[in-house]
Amino acid sequence: MGERAKEWLLAAAAGAAVGALSAAAVMNHLSRSKRREGHVRNLLESNGMTAGNTRSNRHLGAVGSSDLLSDEVVSEQLTRNIQFFGMDSQKKVTESYVVVIGLGGVGSHAASMLLRSGVGRLLLVDFDQVSLSSLNRHAVATRDDVGTSKALCLKKHFSMIYPECQIDAKVQLYDASSEAEILSGQPDFVLDCIDNIDTKVALLAACMRRGLKVLSAMGAGARADPTRIRVADLRESSNDPSLDRLVRYRLKKEHGIEGGIPVVFSLEKPKAKLLPFQASKEEETPSDYQIVPGFRVRIIPVLGTIPAIFGQVMASYVITQLAGLDFQTEPVVNLDLDHYRILHQRLIEHEELMYGTAEQVLVDAEEVMYVVKELWRGRSARDQSQKDTGRKMWRSVNELMLVRWDKSKAAGISNLILLKFSEADAHESTTLDRIKEEEPEFYSMVSRVLKRAEMEFAL
């Protein structure tokens, strides 16, 4: 049977299966698919590459990054992202440059999704090699890759997934001597996926000093609960005794950095500890097994899914930032439902005192949770500055209460602000016009936050 006849049979079968879809439409799809396959094959072959040969170190796209999305193959490969972000925002992603340092379980998954989301240029940095035991958490490595550089392993696989991306791979340890080389070129984002404290602290300090956006991964080992993974400021991460705490301490002591760095971390307490060091000879010490001085030799047990999720979270955060999609990360607020019930009851009592009735209270305890946690992040509306992020998030509700922002409107989700008692008294004795005139920045901030509530609840 001829090839053309086979295609017509497939078209006819598909037409019968889907009913409304015509055979001609299926044939058109088959034709387009063949053209796309040929386009990708030509891209690879024109750069001296096949599926098993990824030697090219330059940009592989047939078109420039500015009009890459007009390419038929690229636009269809990224079509779901384009539908999600819109063409202009996806173009920002496609024209971006991201550096990923540390390519193990976390970094390989982060880099993989950055690539699959259309990031135009990636610099992949790691001095280490793929090991057999790392296959339980690596994004793309196979047994054939064991013993090869993690950076070159990713580049090889990535070039077959999205050959238009400019991928640079450095088999190199990040340290002070390599800072200029690795962090030059004004990357749009740097991902810190390093598990060594010395190197991590040096990288984070360098990014802050250079004014580079950086996202850091804290400890993903010895954990199992994916629901406890968060993105927050470094000040708010607190549950990893071996990594988060030491990184915070050293950044503050050695570099004067107390916050301002977003991190991915887990609220879960580690389920296991570092395994004991076992030497093959009595006279050997852990330092005898270090590939690089100062790097950990003892092994921490790792459930492969958790570092993979860490990496996916990092990629999602960075991609949305690059695209300009604004969203609020879930705040880390240590309040239980009883605290929100107290605030709800406090609101009712305040309304009765001020207005003689609580009939205008249009929220219940669960909606109070949204207002307090999501809108005001567990802090007074007058205490929202980034520098105060951290331990103040964990305060008691003893000194906080909800009051109406606009006294002429009911106490609904989009008209409640969280204040300290003294601030609430002052607010009740002034007017919105006066606040707008005397404190325009505060007025604009509160209006913006409450507008978000209107949009999210379609009020």
Domains recognised in the chain with CATH numbers: 71-270+291-323 (3.40.50.720), 337-458 (no CATH)
Of 187, 160, 171, nearest in space to 60 by CA: 160
DSSP 194: -
pLDDT exceeds cutoff 80 at 12: no
**CA dist 25 → 2, 10, 17 (Å):** 20, 12, 13
* CA pair distance 417, 383, nearest whole angstrom: 12
Beta strands 229-233 and 262-266, pairing class: antiparallel
Range among 317-326, 331-340, 388-397 with highest mean pLDDT value? 317-326
What confidence score (pLDDT) does residue 276 get?
54
Of 99, 247, 262, 119, nearest in space to 172 by CA: 99
Query: What dihedral do alpha carbons 67, 124, 102, 286 form, nearest 10°?
Result: 180
What average pLDDT is seen over the chain? 82
Sign, Cα dihedral of 16, 17, 20, 25: negative
The structure tokens listed for 398 are 């003893």
With vertex at residue 229, the alpha carbon angle to CA 277 and CA 306, rounded to the nearest 5 degrees, is 45
What confidence score (pLDDT) does residue 25 get?
38
DSSP 178: G
Confidence of residue 296 (pLDDT cuts 50, 70, 90): very low
pLDDT exceeds cutoff 90 at 55: no
Q: Please say whether the beta carbons of 237 and 244 come within 8 A.
A: yes
Taking residues 58-86, report their average pLDDT.
79
> 10 Å Cβ neighbour count for 426?
12
Scored b (16 or more CB within 10 A) or e, 61-72 reads bbeebeebbebe
Confidence of residue 385 (pLDDT cuts 50, 70, 90): low
- Using the structure block, give the residue that is written with the tokens 């920002």: 92
CA 253 to chain centre: 27
Q: Please say whether the beta carbons of 97 and 188 come within 8 A.
A: yes
With 0.85 as the threshold, say if the pTM is over it.
Answer: no
152-161: pLDDT as tens digits:
999 999 999 9
pLDDT exceeds cutoff 70 at 243: yes
